[in-house]
Structure 1
Amino acid sequence: MNNNSTANEPHEPEKKPSLAEAISANAKVAQNADGGIDVLSTVGGVRGILETVVPGFVFILVYALSSQLSWALLASIALGVVFMVLRLLNKSTLMQSATGLIGILICALVARTSGNAKDYYVPGFLISGGYLLALMASIFVKWPLIGLLFGFIRNEGVAWREQPDRLRRYSIATWFICAVFGLRLLVQLPMYFTDQVVSLGIARALMGVPLYAAGLWFAWLVSRPANAGGVKAPEDLAG
């Protein structure tokens, strides 16, 4: 009887994640206890930063010391593999290290095909240019991409588009991220065309994750609601 009555009891429907939760999870934007953006966790934490920055830095270091493209490529790829093995040993997610290794392999293939070390950085130029164009286009059509991302994280959905102030803030926030990709191209492309390979490698390391994290943080601050946390925006105080 007990078994039958238990079997006949209605089951609670499985709770599905909200659209905001789903987009936030897919975008890998982490929040801290206060509801603000956790920049360090968003970019993968210390390990994620190392996995992103160190292989490229080792590539340019080995190349600068040996002038041997093959050795530099092997060192970069080997380091990417080491990061993946460490992830396996720690039984942690492989997504970031696997993505990083694929990126390293693509860069290595391009450089090996041309035989020129500076071409290791060509895929990065294409990615930055693609993101820059997409972000700018989203602003011009009044669907700023940072608004789509942060709006769902803040449970605003897309209702912010009906509020001129929110639309303006998210457009400005998106311009901040545009500036990140635009600055990379502005600084690094002249180095590429003038064959400053070592300087290019150092610039790529410094203007990678650290610059993106800073841009993301400023974008979050500038796009927050005027009365978020009871703090008024500067223009509100002036009024």
Structure 2
Amino acid sequence: DLHSSAIAALAVSLLLVMVRLIRRDTVKHAFSGVFGVAFGVVFAMMTGDAKDFYLPGMIYTLGLALAYIITTLAGVPLIGLILGPIFKENLSWRTRNPGRKKAYAKASWAWGLILLAKCAILFPLYWWADTSQDTTQFGWVLIALKIPPFLLAVYLTWVFLAKAPPPIDVFAEMEAEERAEKERAAAVAATTTDGSGPRHRR
């Protein structure tokens, strides 16, 4: 029954949030999970078809795959935009580190193509799932295709970045420039104070 399944899905998601709250764990991913489940439930309830519970997530996956590919073609691979701040290099890889930009492009291609392959499997199965039994089997296939493609994309990203030049720490560069500016200012102030600056005629 669609209504019973919807209530069960939301109840399990909320239970996981409560468990994380009790354990004082990070609830960010749990709340995002509740949002995703709720969105799927609303979608399925609106259409009256249980298999539509999975459709928003599939559309998101397709959009993410296209984002990886399009940004790479545009010269700003999405992986670089995501990992740049984490590695304290921001966008320095675009103009100052071509080897790293190439690695980010390869990683983004890997993510995009892997997600497209996943969509190529899921969308035909979604269209062919006409009965409740088909929908249940489709759900198991979708679950089975969550972790393995993700791990493959992560592994390929690690391989590409391991062979790339190290990131340029732009934050360290900015801190060094600030220190140098302070030292120059201190030197000027010391020169003015000890009387070694220009003297005036009496």
| TM-score, with structure 2 as normaliser | 0.72
Question: Displacement, 1:224?
Answer: 2.8
Question: Displacement, 1:225?
Answer: 4.0
The yes-or-no answer on 1:182 pairing with 2:79 is no
Q: Which runs of 5+ in 2 are unaligned?
A: 167-202
Question: Displacement, 1:227?
Answer: 6.3
Equivalence for 1:87? 20
Contact 1:151 1:157 in 2 (8 A): yes
Correspondence 1:174-213 to 2 at 5 A: 174-195=108-129, 196-213=134-151
Equivalence for 2:101? 167
Contact 1:172 1:223 in 2 (8 A): no
The worse-fitting range, judged by mean Cα deviation, of 82-91 and 144-153 is 144-153
Select 1:148's aligned residue among 72, 81, 95: 81
Pairs aligned (count): 161
The residue type equivalent to 2:105 in the other structure is S
Contact 1:191 1:197 in 2 (8 A): no
Question: Displacement, 1:145?
Answer: 1.0
Contact 2:68 2:78 in 1 (8 A): yes
Q: Which runs of 5+ in 1 are unaligned?
A: 1-67, 229-239
The residue type equivalent to 1:185 in the other structure is C
Report which of the two has the higher share of helix: 2
Select 1:110's aligned residue among 25, 29, 43: 43
The yes-or-no answer on 1:121 pairing with 2:57 is no
- CA RMSD between the two structures: 1.9
SS at match of 1:92: coil
